[in-house]
Amino acid sequence: MTTPPRPRQVIADLPAYVPGRPPAARPGVRTYKLSSNENPYPPLPGIEKAATEALGTLNRYPDMGCTALYAALADRLGVGADELAAGTGSVAVLYHLLQAYCDPGDEVVHAWRSFEAYPIAVTVTGARSVRVPLTSGAEHDVAAMAAAVTDRTKVVVVCTPNNPTGPALTHDELTWLVERVPEHVLVVVDEAYREFVRLPSAADGLALQRTRANVVVMRTLAKAYGLAGLRVGYAVAHPEVAAAVRACALPFGVSSVAQAAAIAALDHEPELMERVEAIVAERDRVLATLRAQGWAVPDTQANFVWLPLGERTPAFAAAAEEAGVVVRPFPEGARVSIGEPAGNDVLLDVAARFGPV
């Protein structure tokens, strides 16, 4: 065999995205996947029906303009269809946005530890990912993020609530940061978990986006709306920004099945939000129980909790797996998604036996 051509150096150096693992089949042990922040509820029948009906036109390309989806979202959000840009998950929309705005050597500021897709998406464009450490409370350090903006900065990404640690920014913090970022720099507010937020003072990206042309809000149907497997997310942005993001999208990226299911999910919002309410109640129960056990868990406004285990993380992940629960280990700690109550109970048992850090 001859030697294959080499990819660009940045591709060879990319950090790997580590997906949350599914549990291995274990005879006699009920297992739970709490490693990917997925919605534990299966699709509602009406949503499954819409997706199934769309299968009848699989021989046709999807509507590349996502017309019906944009109309439904525009109606829901009170924005214009020209302010929307959809993609195969909001991660894809972020890729498109970075491609539209970053040249090699540009800088993208984001918190760290935060969503692991950020440094990968940034590096692919040839830009540099500038990682600003979280505060000791596992929150965004907005002062340090503002200070990290340089002449090379093109984009600042804010993850609220922050994956994998859980806290949301307050609206005052986000406003403070946006006011310190020059107008020619985009501020992307990643609101993947916004439906789970119950903090009254939490950041409202859309409210800021209404008056600031450099603010972009990213949302997804993967988490609260339960469509992780179909890949639909979108950005809300100034029409010129949205057009630039759409220009970088793969043609026909969002499938007809995904478009139909997303529209159906928006139609079924009240039922879906009842499920979100149940997940939030479970989250609050898990958080309170862990704290009562002595764990120093940061506030979480998302559908997961963060256990700052440090070096004990691999041992904890192994103990959880032994009990039937797969968590997502990071170098600094473990992220545990809120799942079915029975799975959450197993996690709480493991945490009690393992003992707080």
Ligand X SMILES: *Cc1c(COP(=O)(O)O)cnc(C)c1O
Which residues lie across from 112 on neighbouring strands? 133
User: Which residues make Cβ contacts (< 8 Å) with residue 333, sequence separation at least 6?
Assistant: 164, 306, 307, 308, 309, 310, 313
Nearest position to ligand X, beta carbon: 89
Strands of 11-95, DSSP E: 32-33, 84-87
Binding mask 151-190 for ligand X (x = CB under 6 A): --------x---x--------------------------x
Instruction: Specify the residue, 220 or 256, whose C-beta has the smaller distance to ligand X.
Output: 220
The count of other CB atoms within 10 Å of the CB of residue 270 is: 7
Residue 282 corresponds to which amino acid?
A: E
Q: Which of 357, 286, 356, 354 is nearest to 316 (CA)?
A: 354
Torsion of CA 118, 119, 121, 123, to 10 degrees: 160
Helix (H, G, I), strand (E, B) or coil at 184: coil
Q: How many residues bind ligand X (CB under 6 A)?
A: 14
In the complex, minimum distance from the CB of residue 105 to ligand X, in angstroms, rounded to a whole number: 25
**Alpha-carbon span 308 to 58, nearest angstrom:** 46
Asked if 225 contacts 211 with a C-beta cutoff of 8 angstroms, the reply is: no
**Window contacting ligand X (CB under 6 A); options: 52-60, 208-216, 222-230, 263-271:** 222-230
Phi, psi of 53, rounded to the nearest 5 degrees: -60, -35
Instruction: Specify the residue, 37 or 256, whose C-beta has the smaller distance to ligand X.
Output: 37
40 interacts with ligand X by CB under 6 A: no
In the complex, minimum distance from the CB of residue 189 to ligand X, in angstroms, rounded to a whole number: 11
**Window contacting ligand X (CB under 6 A); options: 204-212, 218-226, 288-296, 343-351:** 218-226
Instruction: Specify the residue, 125 or 346, whose C-beta has the smaller distance to ligand X.
Output: 125
Instruction: Specify the residue, 54 or 92, whose C-beta has the smaller distance to ligand X.
Output: 92
**Which of residues 50, 51, 69, 91 is near ligand X by CB under 6 A?**
91
Question: Looking only at residues 232 through 251 of this chain, which bind ligand X when binding is defined by CB under 6 A?
Answer: 233
Question: Looking only at residues 71 through 90 of this chain, which bind ligand X when binding is defined by CB under 6 A?
Answer: 89-90
Instruction: Specify the residue, 153 or 165, whose C-beta has the smaller distance to ligand X.
Output: 165
Q: Which of 125, 104, 36 is nearest to 326 (CA)?
A: 36
Question: Looking only at residues 103 through 132 of this chain, which bind ligand X when binding is defined by CB under 6 A?
Answer: 115
Asked if 105 contacts 95 with a C-beta cutoff of 8 angstroms, the reply is: no
Question: Looking only at residues 269 through 308 of this chain, which bind ligand X when binding is defined by CB under 6 A?
Answer: none
**Window contacting ligand X (CB under 6 A); options: 63-71, 102-110, 131-139, 215-223:** 215-223
In the complex, minimum distance from the CB of residue 61 to ligand X, in angstroms, rounded to a whole number: 22
**Alpha-carbon span 203 to 175, nearest angstrom:** 8
Q: Residues interacting with ligand X, by CB under 6 A?
A: 37, 89-91, 115, 159, 163, 190, 192, 220, 222-223, 228, 233
